[in-house]
A and B are shown apart, each in its own frame.
Chain A
Amino acid sequence: MNNLISLDSLTDIVSNSVGILIIFAVINLIHDDSKTYQLEIPIEHATELKPIFFIAKGDRILPINMTKIFESTTVQITQGMSENKRIFPLDYFGLYGQVDSKENSGISFHVHDISQWSKTQALEKNTSALHKSITHIDPKTQFAYFFVYDSDDETASNGFEAFRQARKYLKKYHIKTGWQPVSAENPMIICDEAFNESCTYLPAYLGKDTP
């Protein structure tokens, strides 16, 4: 009787297969959870706060002094440097401007060099310009708005990680944040919603956070 068919091997095969399937199911569940986490849907809301603009690219962040930028832009426009969609230097941390009169939708700002920008590590340093510009934000009247570089080349220019770090840091100071993705082809544009509906710079919070 012992020499007839033995079920031991079959039992082993079945139990191993079931075990492997369970492991795959667990991995799949974990995978799905992380997907949900990755999609951080920003919920924007109307505000009376004034936006203070920043650009996040690579591991660096640049606080933007709009007065200086627009003064430089005005000089370039009056000198005719902006004609024919020409990209002109702004003499401001590697930023360049571009005016497309036909588009009628504001001025585009291109980033050519980020070497002078502060790294995100500077957030924690009390003496850094980035730290100072952030601590100068008054949460009662202002909020931080980020133009975040969205690129498929994560190591070179994707600014999401820098933005996330800055957002986490700003949250400590109760400063609201808003953001929009930009890229080399679709750069940062400053325009007004009175002329273009999409030109809004609003604070946003994540779906998982309470307002």
Chain B
Amino acid sequence: MSTLFSQLRKRWDLKEDISNKELLFYVKIKLKEDPDNPELIYVLAELQRHLGETKEAIKSYKETIQLTDQRTQQRGISLEQQLVLRRKKVFETFLLYTLFPFLVILLSAIIYWNMSNKPEELNGSNKEPQFAFTNWLAKRQLVEIMSTLKKQNPEISFESNGSVTQSTEDFLLSLMKPNSLSQLKREQQESLDKGKNKGKEAQARFQCAHEAPVQCTKQEMSLASGKPRKGVAVLMQSYWAILKTEKDCKKLESSIETIIKQLNFRESEKEIKVILDSLSIECFSQAKDIENTLKQARKLQCTDSSYINTIYWYKTISYHRAGKIKEAQAAYRCYQDALKHAEKIGDITLSEVASRHRESAVLAWLYFGDLPTAMNELITARKTLKGRKNKTASMLRVISEINLDLMEAYVTDNVDIETFKALLEEINSSGLLTDPYKQIKDTLTAIYYLQNKDNATAIISLQNLRSRYKLIPEFICGWDWSGFIHSLETSTYDKEMKEKIIKLVAVSSCEEPQPMEQRIKSIDQILQWIQAH
């Protein structure tokens, strides 16, 4: 132990000969400067033990142990903190190295996504804004329009267009320009209008011998003078699109009266006024409002007699609905005379002549049950257009409607199978029938084969009809079956057959509103009945 004291004397630069008591005193001074130093306290305890101060030595020893323990604990805590820090650093490094490849992939995916969705660059030379989706739609519609044009006008050649160097593709692109199609349509319309106007001048002089002249007031007949105003025709073309969809006739009449009052039509704009008035008469007639239909017909006749066939059409229907058969017959004769007059004078288009004959057939059949006259009128209408080499779209449309009327007449008359099949073939191959007309065609075909006991073919037609009703998004009224139903009353078919035919007619009729599921159910019931026989 004396070695320890000697070493301390040396370390603290004390004389070798100083006593342990003096050393103890020196240690106590040092402890005042550093009271928590366990080494000094241990030296103090040793010195106290050597000097016989046992109690104080024990106390100092305990204090040394206590301080040493505290130091050990502090070292432990410090080590633990270091470990936590180290572990955190390792975890961060681990995360970085593990997630880095995923981050790279994610970043690449975002860049790839953005590159793929980069908006299409607009062509600098084109001033019009272009949108990929809209253009895509427009192109699809263009292709559809072109194929329809080609179908309806086989005589159209896309290579010419006044330029030998222009390719078909260039021509198609030229049609993409705004209003190019309307330009084509306008040119066609203008040529039609020229012929129409000449015809109207001649028709204006027509006075039917079967009815008394209509008494009109000066106010009704006279319109303001002046040149046609720019914009009025366009306004009416635009407003027409809205007014024609109006089903509330009183509202329609009020809208038309308001606009007529606002515009104060001039003599030179008479045709526009007549077109507006014809909308009212059509609406009232469809609503079976006899009084207002006749009122509008008189008004129209006073304004302009160029729509004379239209006027007699509505008069015939209205008088018939009112039970005034003599007046209806007179109006129908006036219709026929007006048509003859127009044909004699000439200058009404062939499509119009054919349409008027078709309408004449419809009147004869639906209101007077006169099948021979109806057949004759339909055949005349067909002949008017069939011989033409270059048929326009409107001619083809009229032919398709005439053919369907003729089909009803054939089914009513139950013509021979060859005649019926020839007509059916022509209708099927024309590709001009709209969806509502296709339903009528299938219904008539099914009835024809049903009444001729060809059940197998009737089933095929009914299945076609069933498929159509399953697929069409909306049932559209397009046929007046009243003449056909009326003819059934005098037919010689047995009661059960009559019932089934009437049920089938109801399936394709809009007189009886019913959901599509009900129509399909009725077809299924008729199919079951046929299969059972």
Contact = CB atoms under 8 A, between A and B. Distances in A.
Contact of A82 (B101, B231, B263, B477): B231
Contact of A152 (B129, B237, B436): B129
- Chain B interface size, as a band, is 35 or more
B119 interface: yes
Interface string B432-459: 0011100000000000000000000000
B215 interface: no
B474 A46 contact: yes
Contacts of B429: none
* Most-contacted residue by chain B among A50, A83, A194, A195 (CB, 10 A): A195
Contacts of B122: 152
B131 A152 contact: yes
Contacts of B255: 67
A29 interface: no
A70 B182 contact: no
Contacts of A41: 137
Interface in B214-258: 229-235, 237-242, 244-247, 255, 258
A118 interface: no
Interface in B338-385: none
* Most-contacted residue by chain A among B105, B116, B237, B262 (CB, 10 A): B237
Contacts of B129: 151-152, 183, 185
Contacts of B179: 103, 105
B133 interface: yes
Contact of A71 (B105, B131, B237, B262): B262
Nearest to A50: B245
Interface in B20-45: none
B245 A101 contact: no
Nearest to B230: A101
Contacts of A49: 474
Interface string B130-174: 010110110000000100000000000000000000000000000
A47 B477 CA distance: 10
Interface in B242-283: 242, 244-247, 255, 258-259, 262-264
Contact of B242 (A75, A186, A190): A190
B237 A50 contact: no
A46 to B, nearest CB: 6
Contacts of A211: 471-474
A59 interface: no
Nearest to A198: B181
B113 A78 contact: no
B186 interface: yes
Given A45-B473, A191-B237, A77 B244 contact: no
B474 A45 contact: yes
A27 B112 contact: yes
Contacts of A45: 472-474
Interface string A18-60: 0010011001000100000011010001111111000000000
B189 interface: yes
A189 to B, nearest CB: 8
B128 interface: yes
A49 B179 CA distance: 27
Nearest to A81: B231
A200 to B, nearest CB: 9
A27 B231 contact: no
Interface string A179-191: 0010101100111
A74 B263 contact: yes
A203 B195 CA distance: 36
B52 interface: no
Contacts of B185: 195-197
A68 to B, nearest CB: 11
B387 interface: no
B241 A190 contact: yes
B124 interface: no
Contact of A78 (B112, B247, B262): B262
Contacts of A103: 179, 182, 234
B213 interface: no
Contact of A106 (B178, B232, B234, B472): B234
Given A70-B259, A74-B263, A20 B234 contact: no
Contacts of A24: 108-109, 112
Contact of A23 (B105, B229, B233, B435): B105
A75 B238 contact: no
A99 B474 contact: no
Contacts of B116: 31
A195 B189 contact: yes
Given A192-B241, A199-B241, A105 B182 contact: yes
A201 B244 CA distance: 12
A203 B473 CA distance: 10
Nearest to B186: A104
A104 B105 CA distance: 58
Nearest to B104: A20
A99 B473 CA distance: 35
Contacts of A197: 145, 181-182, 185
Contact of B473 (A75, A194, A205): A205
A185 B129 CA distance: 8
B231 A51 contact: no
B181 A107 contact: no
B240 A192 contact: yes
9 pairs of A and B residues whose beta carbons are closest in the complex: A211-B473, A192-B241, A106-B238, A50-B245, A107-B238, A99-B231, A196-B182, A45-B473, A77-B231
Given A151-B131, A183-B129, 6 more contacts: A39-B133, A100-B234, A104-B234, A181-B137, A196-B182, A211-B473
16 contacts: A31-B113, A31-B116, A70-B235, A77-B232, A101-B231, A103-B182, A104-B233, A106-B241, A107-B234, A107-B235, A141-B247, A150-B134, A152-B131, A190-B239, A191-B241, A194-B240
Interface of B: 101, 105, 108-109, 112-113, 116, 119, 122, 128-129, 131, 133-134, 136-137, 145, 178-179, 181-182, 185-186, 189, 229-235, 237-242, 244-247, 255, 258-259, 262-264, 434-436, 471-474, 476-477
